[in-house]
Structure 1
């Protein structure tokens, strides 16, 4: 059998993705040298973005596997090098554009990313658990999903998704970590779990801005932001930095909690955001005999949806009710969201239903080129 051609080798290498950037190594100019022996042995040099790349073994293994499938290849050798500063700069500009001052990509007229800011009036209503499970559900449905843990003081998303360690930096570009096919960025990736973040408003705004501009998110279908409870600095910054974002308001059935949740949704009147819907969490507890116990009362979600509809002057739907479920808690503790670890649990079924509604919403044509030209 004749030795493989360079075109065949290149095509095979185009199937190898950088595990963090999620682009193929040929597109990223990571392939430096390719030597094909007449006997069919292929030696390829792959340039890592940074020395000590934590996923270099994955890149090596994927490269060997891809080349091993090419007809005529009798053996594969993968050598690893490191990009020069100039090569890294060229790659960063290819991904993010030239210049040091970058705009938020989700605000570009051509962006089709749907942005949901998950808000609550008070803490303890399960907002972060819902954010993590919705993100994983949307990704399981084939969407490209990112999550910003915007709860700077009370970050919890990395633990809920099983992420540890620090993200990779390519010069001044940050690569989000990936868990369950969801790209994630959180201040929790930069500080120890027990260390408090003691920042005032301007620092919070700058951190959120950096998560949106310096992080390479790629082309996302959905971006979720897990907001801190209330209507403070972060909620205002999200409205300023992402004017096209929509609010998802989380409440419990308890009337006292519903009244507080309304305030989180009513901010949309001042920030000119759209309220995409209300999610009622901890709606009931299923008992062994099949009956339900309304631990926190009932009707809170309906009340919030109805009152917000009147406040914002548009229909605000109740997207779903999620029962109390120990699988959600246990999954969050071990970094395995319930929608994956216990897909048939009552809460997982409700969460997947909500994710399906969010994932199939139509996107507007504002800012999109329709490809028309004068006759």
Structure 2
């Protein structure tokens, strides 16, 4: 973990807002910007990143001894997920401490190597996994994913407040499913409302990193294991993900400049 410069939690207050889709595309967008990127699927009960990345069923990470796990490298990302350790028909009937322990093992025992960014696709909510991450890792900040509808915004605020209580800064808001453009007539409609993401960002003094469309292509590309940043980088959604990645890099670079950057620690026999 000492070789990871920035750990970024991609989180949401509730499920169904497209958080995992945003996480995998944001990781690929950062990779396209030239960064060294890892992606940890921290949704212990419902891991989805192996499917979204097109990893062949049955893929297992290699190990070195009993304590070191080698990440699965796909599309230039170093990845780890409970989806590599179970089958798609194996439910994990675990209590919270067991899930927290699994996260700790994947986080600390994976040989991530030199990374600029490690994105952590968090489960929805404000429970054990979120608290475990805050306790076990030096998190640079969180990206909150929401849709514009009121119920999603309500839960997004709870997620933001949770991170603030554990001193994790909010790096920005990504508004998903902001508008839908009819593929037949071109009519644009705000299915889930409009402006909600910008309102929450303004309320907490955070930046709206991107506003993403509700598009069938995004779902089809992700289900096929070729997320939008890979399969359609010049589309409106692809450009929005790239915009979010660049803004995220700028925010973290500004934070490093303010804080003097991460310290260089050396150990000698003197």
Same fold, TM-score > 0.5, yes or no: yes
Paired with 1:217 and 1:206, the residues of 2 have a C-alpha distance of: 18
2:225 aligned with 1:338: no
Q: 1:273 is matched with which residue?
A: 168
Q: Quote the RMSD (CA, aligned, Å).
A: 1.7
2:55 matched to which residue of 1?
A: 163
Give the aligned partner of residue 241 of structure 1: 136
- Checking the alignment, whether the CA contact within 8 Å between 1:176 and 1:185 is kept in structure 2 is yes
Match of 1:293 in 2: 189
- What is the match of residue 200 of structure 2? 304
Give the distance between the partners of 1:365 and 1:147, measured in 2 at CA: 26
Shift of 1:370: 10
Residues of 2 paired with 1:370 and 1:128: CA distance?
34
Other-structure match for 1:200: 95
Mark the runs of 5 or more structure 2 residues left unpaired by the alignment: none
Taking the aligned partners of 2:8 and 2:219, their CA distance within structure 1 comes to: 23
Query: What is the alpha-carbon distance in structure 2 between the residues aligned to residue 349 and residue 161 of structure 1?
Result: 19
In the TM superposition, what is the alpha-carbon distance from 1:274 to its structure 2 partner?
A: 0.5
**Alignment deviations for residues 111-161 of structure 1 (CA, whole Å, 9 cap, x no partner):** 561111011111000000000111111112211100110000111011100
Q: Determine the C-alpha separation between the residues in 2 that align with 1:337 and 1:151.
A: 19
The structure whose RCO (Cα within 8 Å, separation 6+) is larger is 2
String of CA shifts for 1:26-67, please: whole Å, max 9, x gaps: xxxxxxxxxxxxxxxxxxxxxxxxxxxxxxxxxxxxxxxxxx
**2:70 equivalent to 1:175:** yes
Structure 1: runs of 5+ lacking an equivalent:
1-104, 310-314
Counterparts of 2:262 and 2:23, CA distance in 1? 28
Query: Structure 1 residues 270 and 191 mapped into 2: Cα distance closer, same or farther (>3 Å)?
Result: same
Alpha-carbon distance change, 233 to 210 in structure 1, aligned in 2, over 3 angstroms = same
**Partner of residue 263, structure 2:** 368
Please give the secondary structure, in 2, of the residue aligned with 1:249: strand
Query: Matches of 1:134 and 1:171 in 2, distance apart?
Result: 32
Equivalence for 1:145 = 37
After TM superposition, give the deviation of residue 264 of structure 1 in Å: 0.7
Deviates more, 1:184-193 or 1:358-367: 358-367
